[in-house]
Amino acid sequence: MANIKTSNLPIETLRADLVRAAKETRRVVLSAPTGSGKSTQVPQMLLDGGCVPDGQKIIVLQPRRLAARMLAARVAQERGAELGTEVGYHIRLERRFGPDTKILFVTEGILLRMMLSDPTLPDVAAVVFDEFHERHLYSDLGIAMTYQLQKTARPELIIAVMSATLDSESLANYLAPAETLVAEGRTYPLTVSYSAAAHKVADAPVWEAAAHHFGKLAAAQPEGDMLIFMPGAYEIQRTVESIRGSSASKDWLVFPLYGELPPREQDAAVERYDARKVVVATNVAETSITIDGITAVIDAGLARIARYDPHRGINTLLIEKISQASAEQRAGRAGRTAPGQVLRLWSEKEHAHRPPREDPEVRRVDLSETVLALKLHGVEKVADFPWFEKPEKSSLERALTVLYDLGALDREERLTDVGRRMAAFPVHPRYARMLLAAEDYGCVWQICILAAIAQGRRLVLPLNNKRRADERDDLFGESTSDFFHALRAWGMARRKNFDIGFCKQWGIHGGAAREAERLAGQFANIARGQGLDASEGRMDESAVRKCLLLGFSDHLARRDNRATLRCSLVHGRRGELRRDSAVRDAELFVAAEIDEIETRGDVTTLLSMATEIEEDWLEEVFPGDLEEGTETYWDSMQKRAMGRRVRRFRDLVLEEKESGEPNPDEAAALLTTAVLEGRAELKNWNDSVEKWIARVNFAARNLPALGIAEIDDDGRRLLTEQICHGCVSSRDLREADPWPALNTWLSDEQRMALKTMLPKTFDLPGRRKPVDIRYEGDRAIISSKLQDFYDVDPKGLRIGGGELPLTIEMLAPNGRPCQITNDLAQFWKTSYEGVKKELKGRYPKHEWR
């Protein structure tokens, strides 16, 4: 495109302020709507404004590879420079820049890697965080790390944060003092309508709904181009096909736009044409890439969102409904150059129930790779790292556990030698660990393919043709790992150069196989970059299986028994091996995939991509994680404590054998817990025991001179434990006599004192039998008819050697309490008249003095 005019972009108004702020405050927070010129102009303004000394450059962090590449190309074009010279990009496994590059667009972990290899970023003058509102993990981390760097070794480093919808206040607070710059956008009015059609016909795929509405919207909006948002490559391709197949599209150019497309096709989607065009894109077109001339938007309302569930320990990349804020942004694409039409493929009612905004990645995804990087960066306690937003405690802990299980960290959270080497691999720590192991076992290339297969889509598909399916099973043969089936399928497809017909015939996902080839190549490059030998060679299956054990030891599972696919996993989890697994006869295996499937309210944890493990290998690979010993357990069927010998890998029981009588101390502890939790009963711990405890506790509180200890919850546990000692079963408990244990609570003197000072009963002169004393909390109560007290000397109503008053509960003739007092003499003088008057009226025949 010749003649590029950028001087009338809204961002132009901020040029002077930006350059001044960059030079003075060195921390700039900039918010301006999409299309204002942030990504393409701000780096140039800094460069042209003299913010970049010789030998240094500007780094622009982009959340998406596609955007980094296209922006670099665009900026290079605007400056009339060849891409890779003054302006370049560096994304994972792909780079185009040189020694003189001044503006470098980078993605993902590239900035992080730069900081790990040279923490002071000596050749960087400015770091620009673009699309910060997306809150990708790496921007969060990057901002924290550069901010720290600027406060320490690099005070002259410029930090600029840009976003389309910025919560600029919290960011400015975090970076304080920082300069906040805002550019207003020009937007034209939008007409937003909703369509619930896709929901009325529950089975209509979203691409058909989009194609259906395309025609209507094309007619309603006679000018301009259209943008359709779909969640991923697959849905985009289907939409493109559906639209191309419809009559409404005959004057239209139809383009897909997503990350995995070849660059040429990506560029074609943003070009301007004389004919009208419709671009079907992922959320890359939401704010990252501006496509000019859009006047209509159809939004499927979905996106593929990376999410980790720390409670279940499962990582997912699922299609989810986008937030209201995201839908707002997408709609905005239609109103940049003229009034626009927006159609949402969901109902207005449903819209109101969507979350206002998306959670930041730091609160959604698996943090193990990040934590490993922070460790390498020298962060001692990751919880204390100055996160822009702190991750959930549980997800940090989970990451630390995975890294510990992989041997990257020790118990004190310190990086091990293995961990240090792992951190150099820009892949998930699991794969880093496997690649390192593969070096020792001589199977790096195979692990590269396995890693590629594990990360990609399912390669082996179910075959409907039964004969063909059997034939394929025969061909694949017996196997000790589901990966080996996938590997064989991949090898077959590869030998036929991923021929579609061939793949279809054998139920192999050709696209996935081709993709695995590409990914495996990337893994191999990474491995070679770390000095590993990744040449192709014959496969030693045991070696590969050992590597898989190292990478997935936290997914080790043991089948409950031969008759079931149910199993226990390490970390106390339960699961079920998939029926179609090649290792359905294995007793011990690691599962690369753990899925939660919900059917009619029941949740099953399904284990797949499993690899059989020999128990001996655990000893060989993790000698420190095996433990053998005797332990006592509670058999809930027999209701008794039992002893067994147990062999464990971490917390997973590998083998257990009855070993006769349990250890008496452990049995007592188990029984105590059973009693305290109500699963077993001490029959003889009866009412009189409770009364005795009440008396002891009364003494403990009211007669401190006796030095008696109160029986609180701990005391009860202690006594229960003593009573349980020597017992192993519920029946023993039924017969156990509590008194020998209870008696130990008091010394002989204390017992004597209790007996005389806090007697169980009290002699009331008028009554033949002594009255019980009820010890309730801090009161010692006697109950008797009112008339029984007429002849009693109030001074005698005391216990505790005359120190403590008894509480008198007087009963009316009907046996109900009518008065309670601690001071009988006072009662006769004051309240008695009233009580008498009332009771006498009701019970005139009784004696009333």
Instruction: Give the binding site for ligand ADP (CB under 6 A).
Output: 9, 32, 34-41, 70, 74, 270, 290, 292
* Largest distance between two CA atoms of the chain: 120
Compare residues 39 and 249 and give the one whose CB is closer to ligand ADP.
39
Compare residues 263 and 801 and give the one whose CB is closer to ligand ADP.
263
How far apart (Å, rounded) are the C-alpha atoms in residues 47 and 44? 5
DSSP code for 105: E
Q: How far is the CB of 147 from ligand ADP (least distance, A)?
A: 22
Compare residues 9 and 196 and give the one whose CB is closer to ligand ADP.
9
DSSP state string for 623-680: GGGEEEEEEEEEETTTTEEEEEEEEEETTEEEEEEE-SSPPHHHHHHHHHHHHHTTSS
| Residue 39 interacts with Mg ion (CB under 5 A): yes or no | yes
Label residue 562 left, alpha or beta by phi (over 0 means left) and psi (-120 to 50 means alpha): alpha
Q: Is 206 helix (H, G, I), strand (E, B) or coil?
A: helix
Compare residues 128 and 157 and give the one whose CB is closer to Mg ion.
128
Residue 270 interacts with, from Mg ion, ligand ADP, none (CB under 5-8 Å by kind)? ligand ADP
- The rounded Cα 128 to chain-centroid distance in angstroms is 29
Residue 96 interacts with, from Mg ion, ligand ADP, none (CB under 5-8 Å by kind)? none
Compare residues 38 and 213 and give the one whose CB is closer to Mg ion.
38
Amino acid of residue 147 = Y
Q: How far is the CB of 32 from ligand ADP (least distance, A)?
A: 6
| Rg (alpha carbons) of the chain, rounded to whole number | 38
* Strand partners of residue 59: 104, 127
Compare residues 36 and 479 and give the one whose CB is closer to ligand ADP.
36
Half-sphere exposure of 159 (CA within 13 A, CB side): 25
Q: How far is the CB of 22 from ligand ADP (least distance, A)?
A: 17
| Residue 295 interacts with Mg ion (CB under 5 A): yes or no | no
Q: How far is the CB of 240 from ligand ADP (least distance, A)?
A: 20
How far apart (Å, rounded) are the C-alpha atoms in residues 327 and 306? 18
| Residue 101 interacts with Mg ion (CB under 5 A): yes or no | no
Task: Provide CB contacts within 8 A for 337, sequence distance 6+.
Answer: 188, 224, 292, 293, 294, 295
* Strand partners of residue 476: none
Residue numbers 448-477 binding Mg ion by CB under 5 A: none
Compare residues 128 and 218 and give the one whose CB is closer to ligand ADP.
128
Point out which span in 32-40, 230-238, 297-305, 589-597 binds Mg ion (CB under 5 A): 32-40
Q: How far is the CB of 221 from Mg ion (least distance, A)?
A: 25
Compare residues 37 and 510 and give the one whose CB is closer to ligand ADP.
37
Residue 519 interacts with, from Mg ion, ligand ADP, none (CB under 5-8 Å by kind)? none
Q: How far is the CB of 92 from Mg ion (least distance, A)?
A: 20
Burial class (CB in 10 A: 0-12, 13-18, 19+), 176: exposed
Residue 43 interacts with, from ligand ADP, Mg ion, none (CB under 5-8 Å by kind)? none
Cβ atoms of 346 and 196 within 8 Å: the answer is yes
How far apart (Å, rounded) are the C-alpha atoms in residues 123 and 18? 21
Helix (H) or strand (E) holding 270: helix 263-270
Q: How far is the CB of 130 from ligand ADP (least distance, A)?
A: 7
Q: Is 606 helix (H, G, I), strand (E, B) or coil?
A: strand
Label residue 230 left, alpha or beta by phi (over 0 means left) and psi (-120 to 50 means alpha): beta
Q: How far is the CB of 71 from ligand ADP (least distance, A)?
A: 6
Q: Is 786 helix (H, G, I), strand (E, B) or coil?
A: helix
Compare residues 271 and 791 and give the one whose CB is closer to ligand ADP.
271
Residue 32 interacts with, from Mg ion, ligand ADP, none (CB under 5-8 Å by kind)? ligand ADP
Looking at beta carbons, which pairs linking 705-712 to residues 24 or more positions away fall under 8 Å? 706/750, 706/753, 706/754, 706/757, 707/750, 708/746, 708/750, 708/754, 709/745, 711/745
Compare residues 135 and 472 and give the one whose CB is closer to Mg ion.
135
Residue 35 interacts with, from ligand ADP, Mg ion, none (CB under 5-8 Å by kind)? ligand ADP
Cβ atoms of 345 and 357 within 8 Å: the answer is no
- The rounded Cα 560 to chain-centroid distance in angstroms is 28
Q: How far is the CB of 502 from ligand ADP (least distance, A)?
A: 39
Compare residues 39 and 553 and give the one whose CB is closer to ligand ADP.
39
How far apart (Å, rounded) are the C-alpha atoms in residues 707 and 738? 22
Residue 329 interacts with, from ligand ADP, Mg ion, none (CB under 5-8 Å by kind)? none
Residue 37 interacts with, from Mg ion, ligand ADP, none (CB under 5-8 Å by kind)? ligand ADP
Q: How far is the CB of 263 from ligand ADP (least distance, A)?
A: 12
Residue 36 interacts with, from ligand ADP, Mg ion, none (CB under 5-8 Å by kind)? ligand ADP
Number of residues that bind Mg ion (CB under 5 A): 2
Helix (H) or strand (E) holding 576: strand 573-577
Task: Please give the structure tokens belonging to residue 410.
Answer: 């020790």
Compare residues 57 and 333 and give the one whose CB is closer to ligand ADP.
333
Task: Please give the structure tokens belonging to residue 389.
Answer: 């937003």
Q: Is 179 helix (H, G, I), strand (E, B) or coil?
A: strand
Q: How far is the CB of 71 from Mg ion (least distance, A)?
A: 7
**Residue holding tokens 């707002």?**
328
Q: How far is the CB of 18 from ligand ADP (least distance, A)?
A: 13
Cβ atoms of 251 and 275 within 8 Å: the answer is yes
Compare residues 139 and 249 and give the one whose CB is closer to ligand ADP.
139
Residue 101 interacts with, from Mg ion, ligand ADP, none (CB under 5-8 Å by kind)? none
Residue 611 interacts with, from ligand ADP, Mg ion, none (CB under 5-8 Å by kind)? none
Point out which span in 31-39, 136-144, 327-335, 769-777 binds Mg ion (CB under 5 A): 31-39
Cα-Cα-Cα-Cα dihedral sign, residues 397, 131, 98, 51: negative
Cα-Cα-Cα-Cα dihedral sign, residues 666, 669, 673, 678: positive
Q: How far is the CB of 79 from ligand ADP (least distance, A)?
A: 13
Closest chain position to Mg ion (CB): 39
Residue 410 interacts with, from Mg ion, ligand ADP, none (CB under 5-8 Å by kind)? none
Helix (H) or strand (E) holding 193: strand 190-194
Residue 662 interacts with, from ligand ADP, Mg ion, none (CB under 5-8 Å by kind)? none
Q: How far is the CB of 77 from ligand ADP (least distance, A)?
A: 8
Residue 697 interacts with, from Mg ion, ligand ADP, none (CB under 5-8 Å by kind)? none
Compare residues 333 and 555 and give the one whose CB is closer to ligand ADP.
333
Outline where 310-443 has alpha helix (H): 324-332, 348-353, 368-376, 393-405, 417-423, 429-441
Report which of 92, 55, 56, 60 is spatially closest to residue 76, judged by C-alpha positions: 60
Compare residues 279 and 520 and give the one whose CB is closer to Mg ion.
279
Residue numbers 156-175 binding Mg ion by CB under 5 A: none
Using DSSP bridges, classify how beta strands 87-91 and 94-96 pair: parallel, antiparallel or unpaired.
antiparallel
Residue 168 interacts with, from Mg ion, ligand ADP, none (CB under 5-8 Å by kind)? none
Q: How far is the CB of 590 from ligand ADP (least distance, A)?
A: 45
Residue 9 interacts with, from Mg ion, ligand ADP, none (CB under 5-8 Å by kind)? ligand ADP
How far apart (Å, rounded) are the C-alpha atoms in residues 19 and 51? 7
How far apart (Å, rounded) are the C-alpha atoms in residues 210 and 550? 46
Point out which span in 36-44, 491-499, 532-540, 807-815 binds Mg ion (CB under 5 A): 36-44
Amino acid of residue 29 = V
Q: How far is the CB of 333 from Mg ion (least distance, A)?
A: 12
Q: How far is the CB of 180 from ligand ADP (least distance, A)?
A: 16
Compare residues 132 and 589 and give the one whose CB is closer to Mg ion.
132
Residues that bind Mg ion (CB under 5 A): 38-39
